[in-house]
């Protein structure tokens, strides 16, 4: 099958007039990479990087298929209740692999696959109108939370359970599916008590590494995405990244280049900029992966380090008219990773008209997709000409096999980057304090009402 | 009317345990602000900041009303063809002020106002399915480009014009409205030649300052947004920001605090994080405003400066599960501006269930909106407790008057920030090189085929 290609010419100083990564720094990283790979291999062998095994988990795929081909057929709408890692991967898969505007298509044009909504926030201004317009009697709610303690998801669940009970009585249970820990946790216990069907999130798989578990695969299968193709692409990428030879390992190269850009060239803002509407949600998914995995106060050796690059999602050509001015002329504090597509599918021809109008005539005979690709090439060249680090991940196409490769590559890169930064890419200790404050404000037993320090009246501008 | 409030307690060192902005630095900026205001007043008086006048442009409002109440009634779908500043403001208004899921609502639930799509990219994978499912005979295309030379928008126009001509012959003209320069440019000439109706973009108003011109107001009026309310809110904010007294001027405070954060505290990443789904598109609109206005290589005095903060759009509560780990534990290189809403509208109650389950019981009796607000308060406090600069812009509600205030405040803040950084906030010279390369690649006469430097084969990882 066709392989993803990483072109990093324009990350390197020779292309950038001296700015960017020096070849000798990359050479040093190349020499040191075998130790990183060895470390990752050891953690993997010890079962501490469980996401690596997901492409080969056949049993859950069979269960997903059975559900999708059986009970799943009864629904014309799927609503995922989840937030963060329980939502972003599913959204990425939907936008990449379903027809654009999926939920607005007539059912014929969806081949009778259901609509798919991902409710990843708790704003009543979104949820109330959505519930008002869905036919709840034909809707499946997939509640996704490993522990079952996620406040937002549990609050959504309580709202929906009540709504469905009011209309269906005990039949509400047939409209829910929980994706959660196979043995522990609140949602598991509820599923057992209520008889709600479940799918497992393997114990060692955290939210942001869960897209290739039932978390992402169940909704994907329900809307007709070829999950075997996804997993095959991911498995192939995994194989490709087993090499300790840096320059042949795309995940490692991506991680090493971003780490060198940060530590040797002060570029701590890592933009991911697809030239495809379908891939923007993948950039948003990457935003969580990179930020939450690498943004850490404490290193593995206990030192206080306050590290972590800031990922930014952008999109071409649109953001050429919003962000590229800054990327080209602002501080030298960024890298740009373009996502390109070798075969993006059918183009849309630009017809000829107004042959005497210079600003229109040259467009005729080309296609919109061709223009988009020309703009990508031009923008990458303009950035490099201005001394700005950029690289390009080229997907062979936008299909399951390619998306599987991309998602797996970025997950593996995140583990390598954790090793390079010396932090644990699997934890997120920084959000605990805010959670405790929320529990206190909401009156959760065992959590005292927190003292939120009041604002300084002299630091409020209110028009008085 | 109720006023927007800026609370910047947590930008200041006393709240942050010594990190953040020192009071004496803010005092110095306060003393120096009268000169900034004087400079802005002078440019305004000289007619060089035309966007300030938009809230008082009555004539165009009357023309918009006449169109919306007349010809505009014939359409059940509006498609804006535009990119960058021709698209972002309209998207911001639609998401803030129309019911969530607007385009999926039944026409009853839209009070028979039309659907609104903003086509801000040229990806055939988006455009082809959209055109396939629209009833083009009931669709109005609003082409928005000041010069009429924007490649993406003109290419879209050629595609749509051809499509409409094929089905309607000469009647295609009745389905187009051009928003463009009142006198010059390609689109103006085409409108005159073809007899297509137009609305003006005032000469001194650039794309990213055009939301309160016909660019944003026409689509807004067509979907039932109260444009007089928008303009009234904007005019009120303008009045409020006429004072040279920094601490009473919210736009100036916002600009000064961000500038001090950048220059005195190394915080060059400026996150805008609404706790409302409806305001996320406003944060995305702000991203263009801030990045393109301030990201500059050359200062007004000719020095090479390479300045410009990087704006980032985030959303609560969702990004607590994606970005907040980094914001709390990563480098001290950010400010977070929360957008809060004092009266967000009807809440959605969380029903009681499972009183014995600790992780669920405490939620009962609260509302989803209440939980969202508690999380905002908790996250802001957790950031401040970790020494992280943050401030809160509180809107009285999400209505036209409040959104008018917010958009005007951020536009005025951008002009102040330009003065503080010493750059021209109205130009974007950095994107010209990329445009020329694109023209060359597309074979536009007068533009030689550019030499794009080839990639280094040694810097390509392709699996061979």
pLDDT in tens, B161-200: 999 999 999 999 999 999 999 999 999 999 999 999 999 9
Are residues B76 and B57 part of one domain?
A: yes
CB atoms within 10 A of CB B161: 22
Task: Classify residue A313: in a domain, yes or no.
Answer: yes
Task: Classify residue B138: in a domain, yes or no.
Answer: yes
Per the structure, the count of domains in chain A is 2
Contact B205, B46 (CB under 8 A): no
Contact A401, A4 (CB under 8 A): no
Q: Is B171 exposed, middle or buried (0-12, 13-18, 19+ CB in 10 A)?
A: exposed
Listed residue (B118, B90, B88, B192) closest to B148, CA to CA? B192
Q: How far is A62 from chain B (nearest CA, A)?
A: 30
Residues B98 and B428: their CA atoms lie apart, in Å, by: 32
User: CB–CB of A162 and B353 under 8 A?
Assistant: yes
Q: How confident is the model at residue A400 (pLDDT cuts 50, 70, 90)?
A: very high
Residue B401: active-site member: no
Q: Give residues 141 to 200 of B whose Cβ lies within 8 Å of A.
A: 147-152, 154-156, 158-159, 161-162, 186, 189-190
With 80 as the cut, is the pLDDT of residue A1 above it? no
User: CB–CB of B125 and A398 under 8 A?
Assistant: yes
What pLDDT is stored for residue A119 in this prediction?
A: 98
Are residues A246 and A171 part of one domain?
A: no
Mean pLDDT of the region A225-239: 98
| Three-state DSSP string of B56-75 | HCHHHHHHHHHHHHCHHHHC
Q: How far is B361 from chain A (nearest CA, A)?
A: 8
Please list every residue in chain B whose beta carbon sits closer than 8 Å to the beta carbon of residue A105: 129, 133
Instruction: Give the DSSP letter of residue A243.
Output: -
Task: Classify residue B283: in a domain, yes or no.
Answer: yes
CB atoms within 10 A of CB B302: 7
Q: How far is B254 from chain A (nearest CA, A)?
A: 10
Q: What residue in A sits closest to B286 (Cα-Cα)?
A: A322
Are residues B289 and B168 part of one domain?
A: no
Contact B331, A306 (CB under 8 A): yes
User: CB–CB of A99 and B250 under 8 A?
Assistant: no
Residues with Cβ < 8 Å from A83, sequence gap 6 or more?
A: A120, A121, A150, A152, A153, B317, B318, B321
**Active-site position among B321, B329, B432, B451:** B321
Q: Domain of B210: which CATH number?
A: 3.40.50.10490
Contact A352, A365 (CB under 8 A): yes
Question: Domain boundary at A200, A228, A256, which?
Answer: A228
With 70 as the cut, is the pLDDT of residue B403 above it? yes
Least CB-CB distance to B100: which of A129, A158, A378?
A: A129
Q: Is B305 on the interface with A (CB under 8 A)?
A: no
Report DSSP letters for B228-252, one per residue. Answer: HHHHHHHHHHHHHTT-S-GGG-HHH
Task: Classify residue A461: in a domain, yes or no.
Answer: no
Residues A222 and A179: their CA atoms lie apart, in Å, by: 14
Least CB-CB distance to B326: which of A7, A292, A357?
A: A292
Please calculate the CA angle A362-B442-B130 and round it to the nearest 5 degrees: 80
Residues A207 and A212: their CA atoms lie apart, in Å, by: 11
Residues B322 and B250: their CA atoms lie apart, in Å, by: 30
Mean pLDDT of the region B44-71: 95
Mean pLDDT of the region A33-44: 97
Are residues B14 and B69 part of one domain?
A: no
What pLDDT is stored for residue B128 in this prediction?
A: 98
Helix (H, G, I), strand (E, B) or coil at B417: helix
Q: What residue in A sits closest to B433 (Cα-Cα)?
A: A382
Asked if this assembly's ipTM is beyond 0.90, the reply is: yes
Distance of CA A290 to the CA centre of its chain: 9
Contact B422, B20 (CB under 8 A): no
Cis peptide before A317 (omega within 30 of 0): yes
CB atoms within 10 A of CB B447: 16
Distances in Å between the Cα of A121 and the Cα atoms of A97, A128, A459 are 23, 12, 30
Q: How confident is the model at residue B1 (pLDDT cuts 50, 70, 90)?
A: low
CB atoms within 10 A of CB B463: 14
Residues of A tagged active-site: 292, 321, 435
Structure tokens at A338: 């373009």
Task: Classify residue A456: in a domain, yes or no.
Answer: no
Are residues A298 and A387 part of one domain?
A: yes
Structure tokens at A44: 């993997």
Are residues A55 and A14 part of one domain?
A: no
User: CB–CB of A398 and B287 under 8 A?
Assistant: no
- Sign of the CA dihedral running B307, B293, B4, B40: positive
At A11, give phi and psi (nearest 5°).
-90, -15
Residues with Cβ < 8 Å from B330, sequence gap 6 or more?
A: A291, A294, A295, A296, A297, A306, A307, A308, A310
Residues B222 and B69: their CA atoms lie apart, in Å, by: 8
- Sign of the CA dihedral running B398, B401, B404, B406: negative
User: CB–CB of A154 and B359 under 8 A?
Assistant: yes
CB atoms within 10 A of CB A122: 29
- Pairing type for strands B296-298 and B304-307 reads antiparallel
Percent of chain B scored above 90 by pLDDT? 98
Mean pLDDT of the region B108-124: 97
Q: Give residues 212 to 241 of B whose Cβ lies within 8 Å of A.
A: 240
What pLDDT is stored for residue A72 in this prediction?
A: 86
Please list every residue in chain B whose beta carbon sits closer than 8 Å to the beta carbon of residue A376: none
Mean pLDDT of the region B95-120: 97
Q: How many residues does chain B have?
A: 464
Residue B435: active-site member: yes
Residues B259 and B279: their CA atoms lie apart, in Å, by: 24
Least CB-CB distance to A121: which of B247, B249, B315?
A: B315
User: CB–CB of A127 and B431 under 8 A?
Assistant: no
Are residues A143 and A76 part of one domain?
A: yes
Please list every residue in chain B whose beta carbon sits closer than 8 Å to the beta carbon of residue A190: 354, 357
Please list every residue in chain B whose beta carbon sits closer than 8 Å to the beta carbon of residue A132: 109
Residues B143 and A198: their CA atoms lie apart, in Å, by: 49
Instruction: Give the DSSP letter of residue B178.
Output: E
User: CB–CB of A334 and B310 under 8 A?
Assistant: yes
User: CB–CB of B330 and A322 under 8 A?
Assistant: no
Are residues B324 and B180 part of one domain?
A: no
What pLDDT is stored for residue A239 in this prediction?
A: 98
Block residue for tokens 């993803």: A4
Residues A314 and A269: their CA atoms lie apart, in Å, by: 12
Report DSSP letters for A104-153, one per residue. Answer: GS-GGGGTTPPEEEEE-S--HHHHHHHHHHS-GGGEEEEEE-SSS--HHH
Mean pLDDT of the region B416-424: 98
Are residues B396 and B258 part of one domain?
A: yes
Block residue for tokens 């990244």: A241
Listed residue (A92, A22, A81, A64) closest to A272, CA to CA? A92
Q: What is the pLDDT of residues B16-57, one digit of tens each?
A: 999 999 999 999 999 999 999 999 999 999 999 999 999 999
Please list every residue in chain B whose beta carbon sits closer than 8 Å to the beta carbon of residue A444: 358, 362
Q: Give residues 38 to 97 of B whose Cβ lies within 8 Å of A.
A: 83-85, 87-88
Residues A209 and A310: their CA atoms lie apart, in Å, by: 18
Query: What own/partner pairs with CB < 8 Å and gap ≥ 24 does B21-29 have?
Result: B21/B257, B21/B260, B21/B261, B21/B264, B21/B265, B21/B389, B22/B264, B25/B260, B25/B264, B26/B256, B26/B257, B26/B260, B29/B246, B29/B256, B29/B259, B29/B260
Question: Domain boundary at A228, A258, A288, which?
Answer: A228
Report DSSP letters for A36-74, one per residue. Answer: HHHHHHHHHHTT--GGGGGGG-HHHHHHHHHHHHTGGGG
Cis peptide before B317 (omega within 30 of 0): yes
Termini Cα distance of chain A: 67
Residues with Cβ < 8 Å from A120, sequence gap 6 or more?
A: A82, A83, A84, A86, A87, A88, A91, B318
**Active-site position among B292, B334, B373, B400:** B292
Q: Give residues 376 to 435 of B whose Cβ lies within 8 Å of A.
A: 377-379, 381-382, 384-386, 398, 428-431, 433-435
What pLDDT is stored for residue B198 in this prediction?
A: 96
Task: Classify residue A280: in a domain, yes or no.
Answer: yes
Listed residue (B263, B259, B272, B262) closest to B327, CA to CA? B272
Q: How far is A190 from chain B (nearest CA, A)?
A: 9
Q: Is A300 on the interface with B (CB under 8 A)?
A: no
Least CB-CB distance to B331: which of A268, A312, A327?
A: A268
What pLDDT is stored for residue A464 in this prediction?
A: 84
Task: Classify residue A435: in a domain, yes or no.
Answer: no
Please list every residue in chain A whose beta carbon sits closer than 8 Å to the beta carbon of residue B361: 445
Q: What is the pLDDT of residues A142-195, one digit of tens each?
A: 999 999 999 999 999 999 999 999 999 999 999 999 999 999 999 999 999 999
pTM above 0.90, yes or no: yes
User: CB–CB of A323 and B126 under 8 A?
Assistant: no
Are residues B311 and B296 part of one domain?
A: yes
Residues A244 and A241: their CA atoms lie apart, in Å, by: 8
Domain of residue B200 covers 50-228
User: Which residue of A144, A163, A316, A325 to mutate against B (max B Cβ within 10 Å)?
Assistant: A325
- Determine which helix (DSSP H) or strand (DSSP E) holds A437, and give its type and residue range: helix A432-441
With 90 as the cut, is the pLDDT of residue B72 above it? no
Listed residue (A342, A326, A340, A327) closest to A384, CA to CA? A327
With 90 as the cut, is the pLDDT of residue B295 above it? yes
Please list every residue in chain A whose beta carbon sits closer than 8 Å to the beta carbon of residue B456: 9, 12, 14-15
Residues A204 and B44: their CA atoms lie apart, in Å, by: 60
What pLDDT is stored for residue B148 in this prediction?
A: 94
Are residues B39 and B97 part of one domain?
A: no
- Sign of the CA dihedral running A44, A50, A55, A58: positive
Please calculate the CA angle A58-A59-A63 and round it to the nearest 5 degrees: 120
Please list every residue in chain B whose beta carbon sits closer than 8 Å to the beta carbon of residue A124: 344-348, 367-369
Residues A40 and A37: their CA atoms lie apart, in Å, by: 5
Helix, strand, coil abundance in chain B, percent, nearest 5: 55, 15, 30
Are residues B221 and B142 part of one domain?
A: yes
Give all strands (DSSP E) within B95-164, no chain letters: 115-119, 139-144
Q: What residue in B sits closest to A274 (Cα-Cα)?
A: B123
- Sign of the CA dihedral running B148, B152, B157, B158: positive
Residue B373: active-site member: no
User: CB–CB of B351 and A292 under 8 A?
Assistant: no
Mean pLDDT of the region A245-268: 98
What pLDDT is stored for residue B464 in this prediction?
A: 84
Residues B294 and B308: their CA atoms lie apart, in Å, by: 5
Task: Classify residue A444: in a domain, yes or no.
Answer: no
User: CB–CB of B329 and A306 under 8 A?
Assistant: yes
Block residue for tokens 């609260």: B366
Percent of chain B scored above 70 by pLDDT? 100
Question: Domain boundary at B206, B228, B250, which?
Answer: B228
């Amino acid at each position: 099958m066709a392989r993803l290609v990483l072109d990093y010419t324009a990350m390197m100083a020779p292309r950038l007039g001296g700015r960017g990564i020096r070849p000798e720094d990359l050479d040093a990283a190349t020499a040191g990479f075998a130790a990183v790979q060895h470390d990752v291999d050891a953690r993997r062998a010890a079962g501490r990087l469980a996401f690596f095994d997901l492409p080969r988990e056949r049993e859950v795929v069979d269960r997903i298929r059975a559900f999708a081909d059986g009970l799943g057929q009864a629904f014309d709408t799927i609503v995922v209740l989840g937030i963060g890692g329980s939502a972003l991967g599913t959204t990425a898969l939907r936008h990449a692999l379903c027809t654009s505007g999926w939920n607005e298509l007539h059912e014929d044009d969806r081949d009778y696959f259901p609509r798919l909504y991902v409710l990843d926030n708790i704003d009543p201004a979104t949820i109330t109108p959505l519930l008002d317009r869905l036919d709840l009697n034909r809707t499946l709610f997939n509640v996704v939370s490993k522990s079952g303690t996620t406040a937002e998801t549990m609050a959504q669940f309580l709202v929906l359970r009540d709504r469905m009970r009011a209309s269906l009585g005990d039949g509400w249970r047939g409209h829910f599916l929980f994706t959660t820990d196979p043995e522990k946790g609140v949602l598991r216990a509820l599923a057992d008590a209520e008889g709600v069907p479940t799918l497992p999130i393997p114990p060692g798989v955290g939210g942001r590494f869960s897209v290739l578990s039932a978390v992402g695969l169940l909704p994907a299968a329900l809307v007709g995405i070829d999950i075997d193709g996804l997993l095959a692409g991911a498995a192939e990428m995994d194989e490709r990244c087993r090499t300790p030879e840096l320059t042949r390992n795309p995940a490692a190269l991506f991680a090493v280049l971003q780490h060198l850009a940060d530590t040797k060239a002060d570029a701590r803002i890592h933009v991911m900029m697809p030239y495809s509407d379908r891939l923007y949600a993948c950039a948003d998914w990457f935003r969580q992966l990179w930020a939450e995995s690498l943004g850490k106060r404490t290193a593995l050796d206990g030192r206080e380090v306050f590290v972590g690059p800031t990922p930014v999602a952008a999109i071409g050509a649109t953001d050429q008219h919003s962000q590229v001015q800054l990327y080209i002329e602002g501080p030298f504090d960024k890298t740009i990773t373009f996502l390109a597509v070798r075969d993006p599918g059918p183009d849309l021809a630009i017809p000829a008209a107004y042959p005497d109008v210079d600003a229109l005539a040259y467009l005729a005979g080309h296609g919109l997709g061709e223009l988009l690709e020309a703009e990508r090439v031009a923008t990458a060249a303009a950035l490099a000409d201005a001394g700005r680090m950029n690289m390009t991940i080229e997907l062979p196409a936008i299909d399951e096999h390619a998306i599987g490769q991309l998602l797996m590559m970025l997950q593996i890169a995140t583990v390598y980057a954790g090793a390079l930064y010396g932090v644990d890419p699997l934890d997120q200790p920084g959000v605990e304090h805010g959670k405790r404050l929320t529990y206190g404000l909401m009156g959760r037993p065992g959590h005292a009402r927190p003292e939120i320090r009041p604002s300084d009246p002299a630091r409020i501008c209110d028009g008085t």
